[in-house]
Amino acid sequence: MEKKEHIISILVYNKPDVLARIAGTLGGKGYNIESLSVNTTTSYEVSKIIMTTIGNQATITRIENQLRRFVDVIRVDNLTNIESIHREMILVRLNLTEDKKEEIKKNIDTYKWKVIVSADSYVILEITGDKAQNDFAMARLEPLGIADITRTGIVALELES
For other proteins, the binding residues (CB under 8 A) are 13, 16-17, 20-21, 24-25, 28, 58, 61-62, 65-66, 68-72
Q: Which is nearer to other proteins, 28 or 110 (CB)?
A: 28
> What is the nearest approach in angstroms of other proteins to the Cβ of residue 28?
5
- Euclidean distance between the first and final Cα of the chain, in Å? 28
CB 124, CB 89: distance < 8 Å: no
Q: Which is nearer to other proteins, 59 or 128 (CB)?
A: 59
How far apart CA 141 and CA 44 sit, in angstroms, is 37
> What is the nearest approach in angstroms of other proteins to the Cβ of residue 50?
21
Q: Which is nearer to other proteins, 15 or 105 (CB)?
A: 15
Q: Which is nearer to other proteins, 20 or 85 (CB)?
A: 20
> What is the nearest approach in angstroms of other proteins to the Cβ of residue 26?
11
* Long-range contacts of 63-71, Cβ-Cβ distance < 8 Å, separation of 24 or more: 63/8, 63/26, 63/31, 64/8, 66/25, 66/26, 66/29, 67/8, 67/10, 67/22, 70/12, 70/18, 70/21, 70/22, 70/25
> What is the nearest approach in angstroms of other proteins to the Cβ of residue 73?
8
Nearest to 24, CA basis, from 67, 82, 71: 67
Q: Residue 16 gets which letter from DSSP?
A: T
Q: Which is nearer to other proteins, 71 or 157 (CB)?
A: 71
